[in-house]
Structure 1
Amino acid sequence: MPEPHGGGLGLPAPTPSYYASVERPYSASLEARPARAAEERLDLRVLQKRPDPLGDDFDYPAAFGSLDLDELAHDVDAVLTTSQDWWPADFGHYGPLVVRMVWHCAGTYRVGDGRGGASASLQRFAPVDSWPDNRNLDKARRLLWPVKKKYGRRISWADLMVFAGNRALETMGFRTFGYAGGRVDVFHPDDVDWGPEAGWLGDERHTGVRTLDEPLAADQLGLIYVNPEGPNTVPDAVASARDIRVTFRRMGFDDEETVALIAGGHTFGKTHGVADPKYHLGPEPARADLAQQGLGWANSYGTGNAGDTITSGLDGAWTPTPTQWDNSYLENLFGYEWDVALSPAGLWQWVPRGGAGAGTVPDAHDPAKTHPPTFLTTDLALRYDRAYGPIARRFRDNPDQLADAFARAWFKLTHLDLGPRERYLGPLVPPEPLIWQDPVPADAGAAPDVAALKQRILDSGLTIPELVETAWASASTFRDSDKRGGSNGGRLRLEPQRSWAVNKPDQLDRVLRTLDALRHGISMADLIVLAGCTAVERAAGVPVPFTPGRTDAAPEWTDVASFAALEPLADGFRNYLDPRARRPAEHLLVDKARQLTLTATEMTVLVGGLRTLEHGVLSNAFFVDLLDGPPDTATRVDLVFGSHGELRAFAEAYASDDAAEGFVRDFVVAWDKVMNLGRY
């Protein structure tokens, strides 16, 4: 049989598959799916601080610093290697289960909006805890609860899960690249737009020839990546590779990292599908009975666990050594010719042709049984894709290269949303800086002569609006979701930010050239912010704080492709809206405010102040004029402050005759907050 190529294998339509037909999610109206439609009410609750039982004064870095990581490793290793009767470990080791748990937690990250990732702990909350792709990972987290209980607030759930994933790999013979703590405990799910579908595994997110909607990364609602059977359950390896490439690039990974992650991850463990999930699994955690206490997918088949475990409906192991790091995954991938077959549950998977490989794979629970290896359509994509294939062959022939690439890709997967290296905690942090960490120099040099610099800025001929817009353009790139962006690094002077339409490139170029001639011992990152603060101070007639210490990133340590994802399609603070934006401007304003960690009050005062600073003054005139009757040129963002009940209440407070002084004071505080985002 020739290797697959082109657009398909010419196979008949698959039998009814779990991935093609599933029940509706537990709720399409609760926290499972955020608002999408333009007509839905603007919701300001995302800008409110939610209750946190640890309190505002809790110092997590100090608490984490008191950990004995060797003791923690001993305790985690004991969990990994001690099979428990209520959920017996495959092959006597929970390592593969925990690797899958961490991979699926971290793998929710997407570069488009910085949402998801390990730090958000989304897998602990609905709806992610109930995704079909996360079946039985509730058991992995429950196995770790005794460890979390012992160490309490000294280690967050997110840090513990990533640490356990590293220990799982280490106990199975793999040497990891490193580990960093710093992910604070999360007590509420983040409201993330996971897609337009109303049912699990629906696919309404593709247009044209499988063009995936931005900023989504997964192929279907409820999947971490792509359908393992192939696109919409069609077992076509080449078409699957196309979907894999889109998804992993949306997550921030190139082709080599993608091959390393899949090959490395599938070196361990197995899939579970001895029977059809539709007929034997109970509700997911979010819909399960209260007596289940957060566990879902109760299994009515046989014993309900061990050899009778049902997860995806796919069934089998990739290698003869499912709890040992080696090169057998790639040896098997290229060592056999593969034929498509149905799992016991009726899902498409692949087995060696002609009965090859029989007896090479041990059973997960019965030492008297053996099996052939089983691969997925997504695995064969690594062999038959024109780009993935050569990489996979090179890794097969050079196991040391695979080990290094997987170590680095795993570290990136589990740390990508943690933010700059300055946030990393603990003695296991690798010393090598990596470009995806957005590194900046550590030494800011001597403190600048701020007073002299302010005077040179005021004498430069640059206007108040130009200086304010430039400082805002630099600082407002910050995203709280993954702690990227902000004024530190001064990347506004580098590509791609220098050319973003929202930043008025021609004006920006002139401002940066003028400021660069003035700087004398101060970083451009600091000078851009100082210039903005000086302009606000002149416009307001009151002192504006400035805190130096930012450094300038080098072009070679700036990933242009990665930073392109930070380009805003909308910035209501600047009344900017790109035609490509699909949501109403006022909704995008709230989302921007949320990424800037602003409250609704701070968002309001900044919008009002930035509007008047466009004319070189800082006052409450925007709200006064709006409530007297909006001008014909008002935008949706302008008008929402008069039409939305809560925002109108804020606007009225700031438009009152006695509010002018308080407005300026509040603006300066909010401005200072934004200027210092992203500094650690």
Structure 2
Amino acid sequence: MTSSGTCPIAHGANIESGNTPMAWWPKSLNLDILHQQDVKTNPMGPSFNYRNELKKLDIQALKKDMTDLMTNSQDWWPADWGHYGGLMIRLAWHSAGSYRIADGRGGAGSGNQRFAPLNSWPDNTNLDKARRLLWPIKKKYGNKISWADLMILAGTIAYESMGLKTFGFSFGREDIWHPEKETYWGSEKEWLQKSGGEGSRYSGERVLENPLAAVMMGLIYVNPEGVDGNPDPLKTAQDIRVTFARMAMNDVETVALTAGGHTVGKAHGNGNADNLGPAPEGAPIDEQGLGWINHKTRGIGRDTVTSGIEGAWTPHPTQWDSDYFRLLLNYEWKLTKSTAGAWQYEPIDIKEEDRSVDVEDPSILTTPMMTDADMAMKMDPAYRKISEIFSKDQAYFSETFARAWYKLTHRDMGPKARYFGPDVPKEELIWQDPIPLGPKDYGVEAVKTKIKSSGLSISDMVTTAWDSARTFRGSDKRGGANGARIRLAPQKDWAGNEPERLARVLAIYEKIAKDCGVSIADTIVLAGNVGIEQATKAAGFNIAVPFTPGRGDATQEMTDIESFEVLEPLADGYRNWLKEHYVVQPEELLLDRTQLMGLTAQEMTALVGGMRVLGTNYGGINDGVFTDKVGTLSNDFFVNLTDMSYSWKPTGRNSYDIVERGTGKTKWTATRADLVFGSNSVLRAYAEVYAQDDNKQKFASDFIAAWTKVMNADLFS
């Protein structure tokens, strides 16, 4: 027999989706969301510190090179009118525009646009070319500038090069090195799927599914041709309002961003979209990561096809000016189609001076256009009023846009303590969740002594510290214990924080903080540590819980109530609590919260087991408290979970009895958030480690390490 033509590998390099364990057992809990960005994917190594590299960066030289790039047109992808500004603005915009407030995911903070699925979204067509144009600069400055920072800087420099006085810029975004595959972008099975039917992200009267913000899979915001591609500016306005609100923008910011984005650059649809090749992730190997290549007809310059819409919005698309509002409001517009077949609007009786020149030949005049989204700025009453104000006050429009652009491109960076560089504005903005610095030099032991004599239980101390810190989201660096916002609206009234119990505990902490001259935020965390140290000592171990002082106390005036409402936990598997029953299972909600907090599966296992035996369940319920020594940091949760002298009997949708096999008596009760650590093969492997007789101290040490990570997650200074 000949081996010619046979496959020389056992298909380990390209596992088809149909052969994965999740395909065979789709109801198995998928822990991949906790393994994203494993250190093994990072080529820089554990000693690499981006902040230290930034200190070596020649920022002025970088900005000069970036400015020069804008007008250095390349034959392989020529710049419109000899200026790459519009392309670079779109690159930055679409990098930042995937952010959503519901879970803080998306956005520009990690350079995720380099990877699938974002690099191949229909709305990101030809942004692969923008990143390749930036490559010589990235190559030159190397480790001193991340892709994440570079893409946003490109858009900001583009605006400055066209005449806008920007509000500021910060470096500090660190790159990831692997796609965030587990981010939920929608359940559609095809790109640009219309609403309605299976997989639709809308229900009822066009209610957009949480946490989604865009109207379709593969779009950043709304469909520029209209709802489901059907032109209707008033319906589009409704989509715009919801979408931009879910990206943290109000009506004024929305109009400013729409107009400012369309004051410069153009849309591309002068050709046949069917001639475009596959997106980068589906392109052949010889295209080397580029996509949408046109091998049939000329597909560059004036013949480029991107969105399918064709034309510039203003007569001078490389200048920052007020022409967008002048044309939009003063002309009547009629519906038409581009060469590529996309719906768009053209002005009636356009004056010659209001036409723009062709991107390649200045002797050719072209007609400006507007999209359905642009017409919404004219037709929607609220947007129209704002547009008219902007049209009469260019200075106000420019300042409003500059601030909105800064917010758009920095919203997911977190507090100002993470910002870096000479162009960081001195002003601290409400959306940055400002927190004053707290005292650092004080007698920690004296405060601990006060806490110990307060009469508070271990459960009270640990629970309050946990509730304060669990709001932290690694996605956009919001929430956490710093600021002690748990004592302010809206957090003090959240059901998951047990407001009555919380008020009782906080009253004691406020007195201790005042007497000792420390922040309430530090007092809350320090009290949690005291409770754990007491529980550890009861288990026979003398392990100190690390503490970092310096947290400050935010005020109500520093807290945007509406913005913080999205951080409210609707479930907390660590405290065995559900606000109500949901379509997704409690263990899936636990994974989502764990990933947002930046914890691993092993850290989650240790924390849940410890929280159960410390008696921190919501409302004092006994589910999962597999111990007769509540308040002792023992490994009893794991010992009894893995003990085969018990059986597990379902008693309801999310309730189980733990029954003694010999007597048939119910020993304990549990929820799915408890039993998953025995049923899931990976989590059970961790649970068995902690159940071993020789790992009691290891469990206590691992719990304390994970606890400290949660308490310090938001200490960026």
TM-score by length of 1: 0.93
Residues 1:366 and 2:357 aligned together: no
- d(CA) in 1 for partners of 2:74 and 2:326? 33
1:295 corresponds in structure 2 to 290
Give the superposition deviation at 1:650: 0.9
Structure 2 residue 259 is matched with structure 1 residue 263: yes
Code of the aligned partner of 2:370: F
Give the structure 1 partner of residue 223 of structure 2. 227
Quote the residue 1:484 is aligned against: 478
Return the alpha-carbon distance in structure 1 between the equivalents of residues 280 and 304 of structure 2. Answer: 17
- For residues 174 and 473 of structure 2, what CA distance do their matches in structure 1 show? 17
Q: Does 1:573 align with 2:541?
A: no
- Map 1:310-321 → 2, pairs under 5 A: 310-321=305-316
Q: Which moved more, 1:533-542 or 1:207-216?
A: 533-542
Aligned to 1:528: 524
CA distance in 1, matches of 2:694, 2:59: 57
Distance 1:357 1:38 in 2: 62
Please show how residues 589-600 of structure 1 align to structure 2 within 5 Å.
Answer: 589-600=590-601
Shift of 1:456: 2.0
The aligned counterpart of 2:31 is 43
Give the drift of 1:618.
1.4
Q: Distance in 1 between matches of 2:295 and 2:32?
A: 44
**Counterpart in 2 of 1:471?**
465
Q: Which amino acid aligns with 2:314?
A: T
- The equivalent position to 1:251 in structure 2, one of 244, 247, 254, is 247
> Quick check: 1:424 aligned with 2:400?
no
Residue 133 of structure 2, aligned match among 106, 126, 143: 143
What CA distance in whole angstroms lies between the structure 1 residues aligned with 2:325 and 2:694?
73
Q: Is the 8 A contact 1:336 1:356 kept in 2?
A: no
Question: Which amino acid in structure 1 is aligned with residue 640 of structure 2?
Answer: D
Aligned counterparts of 2:120 and 2:80: Cα–Cα separation in 1: 22
Structure 2 CA distance for aligned equivalents of residues 213 and 664 of structure 1: 41
Q: After TM superposition, list the pairs within 5 Å mapping 1:547-626 onto structure 2.
A: 547-579=548-580, 581-614=582-615, 615-626=630-641
- SS for the counterpart of 1:340 is strand
Deviates more, 1:562-571 or 1:82-91: 562-571
Aligned residue for 1:496? Answer: 490
Is 2:86–2:158's contact at 8 Å kept on the other side of the alignment?
yes
Tell me, in whole angstroms, the C-alpha distance in 1 between the residues paired with 2:101 and 2:401: 20
| Unmatched 5+ stretches in structure 2 | 1-14, 616-629, 649-655, 658-668
Q: Which secondary structure does the structure 1 equivalent of 2:248 belong to? A: coil
CA distance in 1, matches of 2:366, 2:675: 66
Q: Distance in 1 between matches of 2:451 and 2:585?
A: 37
Query: Which one of the candidate residues 149, 155, 163 is aligned to 1:165?
Result: 155
Partner-residue secondary structure (3-state), 1:659: helix
1:189 aligns with 2:179: yes
CA distance in 2, matches of 1:359, 1:40: 61
What one-letter code is carried by the residue in structure 1 that aligns with 2:457? Answer: T
| 1:445 Cα offset (Å) | 2.5
**Equivalent of 2:382 in 367, 372, 387:** 387
- Residue 396 of structure 1 aligns with an amino acid whose one-letter code is S
Aligned to 2:205: 209
> Residue type of the partner of 2:642?
L
Instruction: Give the structure with higher Rg (CA).
Output: 2
Counting only pairs closer than 5 Å after superposition, residues 22-171 of structure 1 correspond to structure 2 as 39-44=27-32, 46-47=34-35, 48-171=38-161
Counterparts in 2 of 1:62 and 1:387: CA distance versus 1, 3 Å? same
Q: Which moved further from structure 2: 141-150 or 540-549? A: 540-549
- The Cα shift of 1:462 comes to 1.7
For residue 319 of structure 2, what is the aligned residue in structure 1? Answer: 324
SS at match of 2:421: coil
Shift of the 446–51 alpha-carbon distance from structure 1 to 2, 3 Å rule, reads: closer
Inter-partner Cα distance in structure 2 for 1:159 and 1:325? 23
Query: Residues 459 and 290 (structure 1 numbering): CA distance in 2 closer, same or farther, change over 3 Å?
Result: same
SS in 1 for 2:31: coil
SS of alignment partner, residue 201 of structure 1: coil
Superposition misfits of 4+ residues, deviation over 6 angstroms:
none
1:670 aligns with 2:661: no
Contact 2:259 2:324 in 1 (8 A): yes
Per chain length, whose mean CA-contact separation is higher, i.e. which structure has more relative contact order (CA < 8 Å, sep 6+)? 1
Displacement of 1:594 after TM fit?
Answer: 1.7
Task: Report the Cα offset of residue 459 of structure 1.
Answer: 2.0
Look up the match of 2:676: 640
Question: In structure 2, do the counterparts of structure 1 residues 678 and 359 end up closer, same or farther at CA, with 3 Å as the change threshold?
Answer: closer
Distance 1:434 1:394, change over 3 A: same
Q: Is the 8 A contact 1:199 1:221 kept in 2?
A: yes
Does the Cα contact within 8 Å between 1:44 and 1:590 map onto a contact in 2?
A: no
Which amino acid in the other structure matches residue 42 of structure 1? N
Over the matched positions of the two proteins, sequence identity in percent amounts to: 52
Return the offset for 1:150: 0.3
Q: Is the counterpart of residue 440 in structure 1 residue 435 in structure 2?
A: yes
1:475 Cα deviation after fit:
1.1
Letter in 2 for 1:227: N
**Closer, same or farther: CA 50–478 of 1 in aligned 2, 3 Å:** farther
In structure 2, give the amino acid aligned to 1:139: K
* Alignment equivalent of 1:178, drawn from 140, 163, 168: 168
Give the CA deviation at 1:457: 1.6
TM-score (norm 2): 0.88
Quick check: 539-548 or 522-531, which moved more?
A: 539-548
Q: Secondary structure at the match of 2:57?
A: coil
Matched with 2:653 is none
2:315–2:354 Cα contact (<8 Å) kept = no
Aligned in 2, Cα 1:62/1:239: closer, same or farther, shift over 3 Å? Answer: same
What number of residue pairs does the alignment pair up?
648
User: Take 2:27 and 2:580, find their aligned partners in 1: how far apart are those partners?
Assistant: 19
User: Which secondary structure state, in structure 2, belongs to the residue aligned with residue 351 of structure 1?
Assistant: strand
Q: Which amino acid aligns with 1:650?
A: Y
AA aligned to 2:385 is P
CA distance in 1, matches of 2:32, 2:204: 35
**In 1, Cα distance between equivalents of 2:600 and 2:66:** 39
Aligned to 1:517: 511
SS in 1 for 2:46: coil
Deviation at 1:672, TM superposition (A): 1.2
Does 2:343 match 1:348? yes
Q: Does 1:403 align with 2:398?
A: yes
Distance 2:551 2:509 in 1: 16
Higher mean alpha-carbon deviation, 215-224 vs 618-627, is at 618-627
Quote the RMSD (CA, aligned, Å). 1.8
Distance between the aligned counterparts of 2:362 and 2:337, measured in 1?
24
| Contact 2:269 2:340 (C-alpha < 8 Å) held by counterparts | yes
2: distance between equivalents of 1:544 and 1:64? 33
1:260-319: CA deviations, max 9, x gaps?
A: 111001001111111231x21110000001100010001245321011100111111100
C-alpha deviations, 1:460-503, integer Å up to 9, x for none?
A: 22211111110001111111111111111111111111111111
CA positional deviation for 1:40: 4.5
Task: Give the C-alpha shift of residue 185 in structure 1.
Answer: 2.2
Cα pair 2:29 2:588 within 8 Å, conserved? no
- What residue number does 1:18 align with? none
- C-alpha separation in 1, matches of 2:115 and 2:526: 42
Give per-residue Cα distances to partners, 1:524-562, cap 9 Å, x unaligned: 100000111111111111322222110001111111111
Instruction: Quote the Cα distance in structure 1 between the aligned partners of 2:457 and 2:577.
Output: 20
Distance in structure 2 (CA, Å) of the matches to 1:620 and 1:399 = 66
Matched residue SS, 2:687: helix
